[in-house]
Amino acid sequence: MNLRKRSLFTLMTAFLLTVIFTILLPITASAQEKTKTYIIGTDITFAPFEYKDADGEYKGIDVDLLDAIAIDQGFNYELRPLGFSAALQALETNQVDGMIAGMSITPERQESFDFSDPYFESGVVMAVSADNNEIASYEDLEGKTVAIKVGTTGADFAKSIQEEYGFRVNTFEDSANMYEDVQTGNSDAAFEDYPVMAYAIQSGLKLKIPTDPEPGDNYGFAVNKGQNTELLEMFNNGLINIRANGTYDEILDSYLGETAQEETSNLGFFGLIQQNSGELLKGVGRTLLLTITAFVIATILGVIFGLFSASPNKALNWIAMIYVDVLRGIPLIVLAFFIYFSIPQFLNIQIPAYIAGVITLSLNTTAYIAELVRGGIQAVDTGQLEASRSLGLTYNTSMRKVVLPQAVKIMIPSFINQFVITLKDTSILSVIGIVELTQTGKIIIARTYSSGNMWLIIGLMYIIIITILTKFSNYLERRLSND
């Protein structure tokens, strides 16, 4: 390797390390900062225990109880709405300090978590479509399909009787999607905690409960085993106090009593847009911000790895090839879980969901942009490089002045297309609790139980954004072809 190539390699390597440290430095800094604010994980689709109201505020029995206990005990908290299974993983990996999400206290969970005193007793019920007159007992489930929500007591109960009554199981991450599956007839029944199902039916969900509730389970606030004992003690003390002063009963009556206010549901297509337009636009904004941030980082890294691929240096070729093969071989959802849950567990740090999302998208998109750059360079006639070298220009100058300008014209439409793909990939990051457009839709569905109309609205919003980007790509392609 001559001096110029060695200098170029050193410069690129230094730049790459700078970008990586720029991403990771805020993570390390935030991990080192000590704060008195506890991070509490929760579900997002478990009304009346936790959900987001029409004003964009998180509310529910769990949220109100936690708020009352925090005031009583004088501590601050930050609510992290992740979804039930993601919140469990976040608690296990110390991404959150505690979890409250209608979580049943079971012997299995007590092996991994320390629980507070019980704050609510519930029971599992079976629900079927409101016009279903065939299923009146568990015996009627033979040969049928039952919907369950992963990680819940209802799911555990359904699995415990599955062999006895001979039904199949469909598993969902969200209660709202589970309900919708029963309403559309894809599943014949669903198992859910009684107060949750009763509240949903009271709010307009077209289901009914043909059986009596099973014996109840106790809900508890959870922390990781042997950790945050002071938080657990404050929760227990606060629970005693709010029960004594009547606050506990007031909270339960406001959601489950006869005077409980029902959330508006079944608003229709235009009613959903009108009521939730502000929240939907915020979701679009977060989606675009996440996409642009990740794409800028990925473009810088992708160009570097693309140049590595096109370099005559075999070592650089191997570096680029290994990176591209590994990152393209990992499903995006697996990469997101690894960065958000596994890395914090290995390094004993906390990574904010947004930072984890940016890193996930950046690493994944970099691999594809690197291939675009390599393909663009190789699409330029090799005679261009040979001619410039024969005129006495160095390899680096020939690439910068002759090859890359022509390659950029070839690559720009593909770059726009990759931007569109990255934008759509942001929807996968809802699994780690990033409230982008797709997650916004899930949160609205949890309140309104209007899955069909809401997913139609979300789909149309994606189509509008992507159509604009596609038209812009076509415009650029025409302009460049005319130059």
Q: CATH number, domain at 176?
A: 3.40.190.10
- Same domain, yes or no: 394 and 316: yes
Is 263 a domain residue? Answer: no
- Same domain, yes or no: 106 and 226: yes
Q: How many domains does the chain have?
A: 3
Residues 288-318: tens digit of each pLDDT: 999 999 999 999 999 899 888 888 888 988 9
Residues 190-246: tens digit of each pLDDT: 998 888 888 888 877 889 999 888 887 889 999 999 899 999 999 999 999 999 999
Q: Please give the pLDDT value at position 461.
A: 92
- Same domain, yes or no: 68 and 203: no
d(CA 424, CA 466): 9
Which is higher by pLDDT, 480 or 227?
227
- Same domain, yes or no: 241 and 281: no
Ramachandran angles phi, psi of 58, nearest 5°: -80, 135
Which tokens sit at 350? 């906390």
Q: Cβ atoms within 10 A of the Cβ of 179, count?
A: 29
- Same domain, yes or no: 402 and 471: yes
Which is higher by pLDDT, 275 or 423?
423
Among 85-94, 146-155, 380-389, name the one with the lowest average pLDDT. Answer: 380-389
- Same domain, yes or no: 40 and 86: yes
- Same domain, yes or no: 469 and 405: yes
Task: Assign 258 a pLDDT band (cuts: 50, 70, 90).
Answer: low
**If we measure between CA atoms, which residue out of 340, 116, 113 comes closest to residue 227?**
113
pLDDT (average), residues 11-26: 46
- Same domain, yes or no: 226 and 359: no
Task: Assign 68 a pLDDT band (cuts: 50, 70, 90).
Answer: very high
- Same domain, yes or no: 251 and 304: no
- Same domain, yes or no: 226 and 106: yes
Task: Assign 142 a pLDDT band (cuts: 50, 70, 90).
Answer: very high
Instruction: Give alpha helix (H) positions in 61-193.
Output: 61-73, 84-92, 107-110, 153-165, 175-183
Task: Assign 1 a pLDDT band (cuts: 50, 70, 90).
Answer: very low
- Tell me, what DSSP letter sits at residue 218? E
Q: Please give the pLDDT value at position 261.
A: 52
Instruction: Give yes or no for residue 271 having a pLDDT over 90.
Output: no
Among 250-264, 297-311, 320-334, 412-426, name the one with the lowest average pLDDT. Answer: 250-264
Residues 377-400: tens digit of each pLDDT: 777 777 766 677 677 777 667 776
Task: Assign 262 a pLDDT band (cuts: 50, 70, 90).
Answer: low
- Same domain, yes or no: 313 and 348: yes
Ramachandran angles phi, psi of 223, nearest 5°: -130, 165
Is 46 a domain residue? Answer: yes
Q: CATH number, domain at 351?
A: 1.10.3720.10
**Last residue of one domain, picked from the residues 256, 280, 313:** 256
pLDDT (average), residues 47-71: 88
Which tokens sit at 106? 């079971």
Give the domain range for residue 42.
35-121+218-256
163: amino acid identity, one letter: E
Q: Please give the pLDDT value at position 167.
A: 94
- Same domain, yes or no: 273 and 178: no
Q: Please give the pLDDT value at position 76.
A: 93
Instruction: Give yes or no for residue 22 having a pLDDT over 70.
Output: no
Is 418 a domain residue? Answer: yes
**Sequence-distant (≥ 6) Cβ neighbours of residue 217 within 8 angstroms:** 104, 105, 106, 121, 122, 123, 124, 153, 193
